[in-house]
Chains A and B, each alone.
Chain A
Amino acid sequence: MDIPLLEMRNITKEFPGVKALDNVSFRVTKGEIHCLVGENGAGKSTLMKVLSGVYPFGNYEGDILFNGEEQHFRHISDSEKAGIAIIYQELALIPELTVYENILLGHEIKNGFVVDWNETIKQAGIMLQKVKLDINPAAKIIELGIGKQQLVEIAKALSKDVKLLILDEPTSALNEKDSENLLQLLRDLKHQGVTSIMISHKLKEVISIADTVTVLRDGKTICTLSKKAGEVSENALIKNMVGREINNIYPPKKHIPTKDVILEVKNWNARNPALGRDILKDVNFKLNRGEIIGLAGLIGSGRTELALSIFGNPDNYQIKGELYLNGKQRKFNHPRDAIDSGVSYVSEDRKGDGLIMIQDVKQNISLANLKELASQGLVVDNNAEIKIANKYKTELNIKTPTVEQKVSNLSGGNQQKVCLGKWLFVKPNVLILDEPTRGIDVGAKFEIYTIMRELVRQGMSIIMISSELPEVLGMSDRIYIVASGRIAGELSAQEATQEKIMHLATN
């Protein structure tokens, strides 16, 4: 019974400057659970977006065969019609509507022109039974826990007569019991003939559930492993996921960090009241002067939340714990307090919360420290501002005709340098860099690494959050691995390997 349900042949998808998928081939057999694994940025989500029609036909190269027929999906609704349903990490349910309304949303059961609510509720009940969810179909989504919401999402997919169910990190937000529940459901659905693709970072789950595993790395298919043939093991997966050589794109270390602690966090706990969930649990770490520490971990492990909770807590988490800066206990109530005490945070999302895209380079660079450019802290000296902006333009090699250019016209790498310039202008002692090289090309990456080396040589201390393991290994003096809001381990630069980090991050 080795009939292919889905075959994606030689798929290539390019974004400006980046080849996200490079000649990827991917084959799913009817009736199996097929796991797709790979590091962050390996191309898993892009591949699924190509499959579902988010990137329409013509936007990529290659062929998609589904159910033996060549498919040209131009929109998600096309792939849905063919019987493909995707469940994303961020659930697509409408919180204020009831379970039955959500399940049949978009393909309502009609009686003439009006919705037949009785039949809707009946059908929804049948779907809920299929996913073994015993709840009142009239409950609102918002009243359900995340685990149950996930099951409703699957029920919704089943109601569309799905042939191929795709789950993007379905268990990343679930606790162990809910996760086990979900995996059991997938096995049950398999017996009912539903084929599934699951993207997951949790290798233990992958090993327990997968019939076949495909590993992607850097936008290429690395291998397809079969459980029947006994090829699936944690070691085999990790080796194939990270197998790339670290080439010398990292500038050499020029100096040895001190043993003098500049920042220390003790018993640090945080709760996000908006999600009603603990996001950081008993975090302890230290940063020495002149040191680069790497915070490694998977997306959603709590690294950004940790950085923000230190940097004046702009998202209003409920925090317990102690923060020491230069040996003194401190409490920052607003980013301003952190900035004034010499802590800077370069955010991971340049466009969303780093830069003001409609303003120019100089205004972005001066923003966090305008007072220094103003006489008596009130009136801004425009000429001094241009001078400072030009200084960082030269030092950081920002490629822009003038500092009066809007940052929206700059390339990603140069935008990142503007962010860096802005935060260097506040003259910090501790610089937190959140994914400092995300989405920028290799040349700009090297420049940013060189700047980081120079900054620590001058005595600055850097916390680098990164999802790219080679970068973590190449730049850090010490590495903390964050998993599920905890520090899962600490490794020195000498002992760290990609495999060790992956083991800690995926447990």
Chain B
Amino acid sequence: MGFFGTARKLMQQNIREYGMYIALFVIMIIFTITTNGTFISSRNIVNLVNQTGYIAVLAIGMTLIIIIRHIDLSVGFLAGFLGAIAALGMADSNVIAAGMNLPVYVVIPMTLTLGILAGLITAFLVAQMQIPSFVASLAGWLIYRGAILVVTEATGTIIINDDTFNAIGNGFIPDIPDIGILPGIHKLTLILGVVAIILMIFNEINDRKKKQTYNFETLPTEMFAIKLIFISAIIGAVTWVLAGYRGLSWTAVVVLAVTLIYHFVMSQTVLGRHIYAIGGNPDAAELSGISVKRLIYVVFGSMGMLSALSGILFASRLQSATTTAGTLFELDAIAAAYVGGVSAAGGVGKVIGSIIGALVMTSLTSGMNLMGIGISYQYMVRGAVLAAAVIFDVATRNTGK
């Protein structure tokens, strides 16, 4: 098989996976053209990443939930509610009666812990009480909606004055001192990008070597080289664009960290394998010694924690907790997960896919905003893209290996 033959085979086998990247790429190109380049400007891309952040972390958690054949509708208002709790935690009790005067380093772990607890309550209803997750989380949706109103009743919007907290949604990583080269470029971001490329190449080569010691099939050398160059170019390009504005935002750092951790857990660990197994066939998994109940707690607990994180990111971005925070987040997260290739039948889906899905959806919003398209049409376009993505997914499900 020649070079193009191999390339075609890879393309056929992985069409589902590549489809999303291609879709994202096409959408970005289209908006870049229709907005005369504004879309791809550093400033807009940085904004886009920050806007995606709070949906992206929810989409990651939702991916796991859908993989195990459940759904969680409560995450949006849970995020809003926990954002308000975080705001209250930091508020000065002289200004707001319910304020707790807590430092940010206490408030963040506290909020995340509350999120885990909320997730475990849903899990209890689903695993122990055998209530369908749709209903259990719908109850949560209503309860947390009410809870936001209770918390913000006295004050309305709660303003957050903590600079550290607000930096999560608005700030950027610091730069190294100016050494006179590359003025106007964020050099630490560039350095991190280069480090990422080196680590990626090192990791890939290491992996390939290991495979070869087992005499397993690996990509032909030229394909392997092209793959490395391609991924390096993408990391390089993204880094360059980000560095052109103010560098890597803290939101991006948080989302990257969560993505990497969840991607690692789902693809490399026993826990991840067990989650895919119970999604693929819960009866077979149970008979294989995997406790389905226990994993429902783990997955919903993680969802709760990520809801808290989403609430923190959103409150920090607005520098306040509002009465409507979290509205429709859950549906955006579910849409992102489906666009990213998660299967409603369970057992199929990737964390990275859902991040791409979230980026696709935010890119649509951002691009259409720049083009001045009205909100009514934006909804319709996003709906059409969601339907198209799932149609593509179903149509390609049985191709490849």
Contacts and interface: CB of A to CB of B under 8 A. Distances in A.
A353 B286 CA distance: 9
A374 B270 contact: yes
A335 B289 contact: yes
A314 B287 contact: yes
Interface string B324-343: 00000000000000000000
Given A370-B274, A380-B273, A406-B401, A358 B347 contact: yes
Contacts of A356: 277, 280-281, 284-285, 347
Nearest to A426: B289
Nearest to B286: A314
A339 B216 CA distance: 31
Contact of A367 (B268, B269, B273, B283): B273
A401 to B, nearest CB: 9
B288 interface: yes
A26 interface: no
B216 A368 contact: no
Contacts of B269: 374, 378-380
A334 interface: yes
Interface in B97-112: none
A357 B274 CA distance: 15
Give the size range of B's interface with the partner: 20 to 34
Interface in B251-270: 268-270
A241 B366 CA distance: 74
A316 to B, nearest CB: 11
A357 B276 CA distance: 12
Contacts of A382: 268
B270 A370 contact: yes
B291 interface: yes
A340 B288 CA distance: 11
A378 B269 CA distance: 5
A387 interface: yes
A355 interface: yes
A384 B132 CA distance: 38
B185 interface: no
Given A334-B291, A336-B289, A363-B273, A355 B284 contact: yes
A170 to B, nearest CB: 29
A355 B347 CA distance: 13
Nearest to B284: A353
B348 interface: yes
A352 B214 CA distance: 34
Contacts of B283: 352-353
Nearest to A347: B287
B200 interface: no
Given A356-B277, A383-B210, A387-B214, A368 B289 contact: yes
A422 interface: yes
Given A335-B287, A336-B289, A359 B401 contact: no
A405 interface: yes
A234 interface: no
B390 interface: no
A380 B275 CA distance: 14
B290 interface: yes
Interface string A376-416: 01111011001100000000000000001110000000000
B291 A353 contact: no
A334 B289 CA distance: 7
Contacts of B284: 347, 352-356, 367
Nearest to A314: B286
A100 interface: no
A404 B281 contact: no
Interface string A326-364: 000000001110111000010100001111111110010
Contacts of A405: 401
A358 B343 CA distance: 11
Nearest to B292: A314
A371 interface: yes
Nearest to A373: B270
B270 A380 contact: yes
Contacts of B274: 370
A357 B282 CA distance: 12
A283 to B, nearest CB: 21
A405 B13 CA distance: 12
Given A335-B288, A367-B288, A383-B210, A359 B270 contact: no
B211 interface: yes
Nearest to B288: A368
B287 A353 contact: yes
Given A378-B269, A380-B269, A345 B280 contact: no
26 contacts: A314-B286, A334-B291, A335-B287, A336-B289, A340-B289, A347-B284, A347-B287, A353-B281, A353-B283, A354-B287, A356-B280, A356-B285, A357-B280, A359-B276, A359-B347, A368-B288, A374-B269, A374-B270, A378-B271, A382-B268, A383-B214, A383-B216, A386-B214, A404-B401, A406-B401, A422-B288
Interface of A: 311-312, 314, 334-336, 338-340, 345, 347, 352-360, 363, 366-368, 370-371, 374, 377-380, 382-383, 386-387, 404-406, 422
Given A335-B286, A358-B348, A374-B269, 4 more contacts: A335-B288, A363-B276, A367-B277, A371-B270
